[in-house]
Structure 1
Amino acid sequence: MTDRLSNTANQYIGAAKQTIGQTLGYPDIAADGARQKSEAETAQKAADAKAEAERLKHTAENNTNSVVGGAKQAIGQTLGLSGLAAEGAAQKSSADTQQNIEDARTQARGTEHELEAKIKQMVGDLTNDHSTKVDGATTETQGTLERKV
């Protein structure tokens, strides 16, 4: 969450520098602000993409292990192989627990997105910046969907 808040803060600090520089006629400050804002946005998009790729990878691994574990358990029970059945049950249980943890992480990211959305919407209201308000609404929708995992 620290990186997300840091990136969000840098986006708004950069935007403020850009606006102040443009308003007061300081092109160097405006350019520095635009750069800071852009870098923070890029860093956040990269972090979000990495987190999503990890989530998908873990979900695929957990689903595979759950199915394989369930199959081992069923085969073991059918053939009277208690060791195989126990191994399968443990593998399935572990995979299901790991998926519950992954779901909780996704829900936590949803809460982060909802907090970020509120900040964007407040900044958009304060600065009368329609695009920031829209971005906040989009981020809020993303967060709401993530929290419903």
Structure 2
Amino acid sequence: MTERLSNTANQYIGAAKQTIGETLGYPDVAADGARQKSEAETAQKVADAKVEAQRLERTADNSANSIVGGAKQTIGQTFGLPSLAAEGAAQKSNAETQQKVDDANAQIRGAGHELEGKIKQKVGDLSNDHSMKVDGATTEAQGTLQRNV
């Protein structure tokens, strides 16, 4: 989350520099601001992609553990092996619980992205920065998708 805050702050600072440079006629300041903003946006996209890849990996692991646990439970029950059945039930339950935790975390991240997107859109409106408004709309939509997964 600290990386997200840092990237967002750098986007805002870059946008402010760009606007100030353009308004006051300092092309070097405007260019530096545009560069800073662009680098922060790119860094955030990379960070978001890493988080999503980790989430998908955990989902696959949870699904596999749930299936294996269910199979152990069924085999243990079928062949009268209570310890295998209990081990399988516990493995399946742990995997399902972990998936619920991961889903709740995704909901929280989604709500954060929605809020961040709304803020970016407002800042874009105030600074007349069309690309920030578009980025804000994209971030808000990303958050809505995360909350609906």
Q: Distance in 2 between matches of 1:2 and 1:72?
A: 41
- Cα offset for 1:34? 1.7
Deviates more, 1:4-13 or 1:76-85: 4-13
Unaligned runs of 5+ in 2: none
Find the counterpart in structure 1 of residue 136 from structure 2.
136
Find the counterpart in structure 2 of residue 13 from structure 1.
13
Deviates more, 1:89-98 or 1:4-13: 4-13
Alignment of 1:1-149 (within 5 A): 1-149=1-149
Does the C-alpha gap of structure 1 residues 56 and 144 become closer, same or farther in structure 2, counting only changes over 3 Å?
A: same
TM-score scaled by structure 2? Answer: 0.92
- Once the two structures are superposed, what CA deviation does each residue of 1:79-121 show, in whole Å capped at 9, x if it has no partner? 1100110110111011111111111111111011011111112
Q: What is the identity percentage for the equivalent residue pairs of Structure 1 and Structure 2?
A: 78
TM-score scaled by structure 1? Answer: 0.92
Q: Distance in 2 between matches of 1:129 and 1:26?
A: 17
- Cα offset for 1:12? 1.4
Does the C-alpha gap of structure 1 residues 134 and 37 become closer, same or farther in structure 2, counting only changes over 3 Å?
A: closer
Unaligned runs of 5+ in 1: none
Over the aligned positions, Cα root-mean-square deviation in angstroms equals 1.4
Equivalent pairs, count: 149
